Structure 1
């Protein structure tokens, strides 16, 4: 189940919260309830009475859970709430129904390996604060003890504050056991274990996440692909309410029509067998041009000779080479004229199409952009077009809260990474989907 709480996007699965993200980056990998027996075995539970309500900005989930295995009987009730202001709270209240011995009972939090080397501000139970660091090398012992709350950055301009109640928490480095995360768990291991639990014994705990804005980042100029939506006054008015700086046009014969949207045009120009004749037919005065992206049929990246030919035709407009297909085409064909910039497109569904993979693929943007800058230098980097699905494929998820969450993450990445421009989705896709329209109408999270 995909959920949204303000800028937070996450998944609920079998009682657990997974992949809690904002601004295109994962802040928490997982939150879950665990009962570990005296041999550190995980006692399974079954969920009953699941109730949930969710909207574009918040959610509430409640359920009962029962552990009943090997003589251990323990029940608990969970309430999980996400609110538009950027808080997520997971609360549990449990009771033992039998006598047993345990090593741990309670809520655990997994922090992703991307946290390595990041500073943590830890608040102790007595209110004192101390700065620690997620270790890069595997820590043999707990890197952080006696935690009441913690705060750390996970994306440029974003921090997460995690408050714990009902016990004392500490952190261990899960890489000691080949797990790819850091885990914060309740009940210090310095206390004797296993410990006896009597019928009627209770556990009440909560973990609350809060998104903290720690600084402003320049928003990347955004555009949409101009498809068949007509430039009628109502459509033009709606588009101008969005934070759109340009429209991408892939048919130069429609320049005069595109001008009726009253926005600069990013012209995607594919040269064929008669490039001189094609260029002569383009009416450069028909619409204001933001830039011209040059493609050459049969070439993965338009070579310098074609870029310079087009540049001679559009003397006062940035003209840059574009890569066809995937990022791989640009990465394997790095020779062109990048003096005005370089453009490439992307989508997250090349090898996998499930929801979890689509969200996880947001993390690839930073490596792509860093790689291009390694050979294009300081030239402007233009992402165009950015799609949710392969070309020609309509994916209904784009128009849902899930598609909006992916879009928020992508736009936040592009701003955080300082791209010169990003053309994301089409006019029709955005105007037909209220969740997407809301993304482009608001301040894009950084």
Structure 2
């Protein structure tokens, strides 16, 4: 089957309506699904989003049914009204929204609603997102609910809990010199540092987490909240840039080894694709082992067989089920005996107590778990020749909230997903803006200990905040997807290139991305979820990125000077034979790129993907590409100079 353009780019035919741009003089905002994004004054972003949201008991955000939408625009500004309903079985929460923007720089958003039946929720009300570029570390004036005012700063190192609490209003200055006051009425607000989850924002939200959750909105109880944003100052108009110029700069460090994840449920399909996986050439496979899921000697042997077949070093990623110190120590010892009986194949062993796979929110009581220092001592005794790693198998958030004990690990590890809070394309791509802060923060946590990241992918492999990740049988874009369609599209390849380049340049000792097959895979295989347009054995676009980067291990990375918020992600590495450059268009529209003199290479885009689906060496071609080239949406370019 020939792929449609939508499937080639995103792995799904889901239609995404373009947002409507609301204008009131220099004030603009994008109206999307009833909420506001990218609020700008004279082209400069002042807030990333203001949204009235309803969340379920697992922190999933409802897609409300919107009706009676009215949008008016004239010289006095814009006015939007609508009604919406969020439903959970027979229960519902219905609300009316009103949005007004005026040319004087005033924006108001009111949400008012009730539940006729009663409604269980973890959060219902406003969420405000503040951008991080040019804002991190800068001053902010904080007005508390009691009326007192204090001066503070947006965090630089990622705050593990809430950097600001008991909020009524925040006033900050944009990089262009605008003053932005955000007034929040109707409840008590607080802020969390969303860079914890790689979101490119600080989030101010309704209802303190110290209060009980989930909570019930009782029949007849009214939720009535208003956010008022006031922008003042002239600012500076933004200008469009021309072609993105590519030039190599100073040396950064060596390219780290690249790995893949592997879980027992994907072992059979991965075994059937060993030829393709051998061609991909990962340095290591992270073998997931969790006795609570029935994993045993047989599942370990099956995964070890795949690692040997493709020439990858096996790493053990083991969940420790026992919570008692002595029982956990005995479980680690037994696992060590099993590994020894299998020939002691693991040069790296990472451990995590099972309770640490679930989130403990600020203000909550930490669950019982074995003492971390004792657990790592037990691991060192059970695996005397292995490098012992740990930290968190879940997200950086949890690592930031529960640091490993000093001096007990050889390797600190964590994973990320770009869609814990939002699943749309722009939010996922924007997470690159937070990678620098993640890197600085994990260095601070690890001290001088080497650190590694992954296996990470767009999709959520686990849900620390609820029962499970979303199964996504409709094959759509949504937060907390387990099987996200973009893994199979050029979008996923572009995101992966940006992710790998950021963490490699940031000093990660190893980077693991996705998996062999399955929902995070590089190669198509039979599955119990939709994969329209793909047949077993075909190579997803991300395969070509992973293969190319894996082969650069040990090469000297060079700075390309590409900003994380810019349209192009890239990685450059110098080897004996010359310099290799990988570029990705992060945008859904074409961009022009000015190349170094004497460059040659190949482009993977929607037009060439058909040939690349069956050719592992597709991007090994080296046609002359002097001058400027136009990269189509989410295209990948491999250059040699």
Q: TM-score w.r.t. structure 2 length?
A: 0.35
Q: TM-score w.r.t. structure 1 length?
A: 0.49
Considering fraction of residues, name the structure with more strand: 1
* Larger-Rg structure: 1
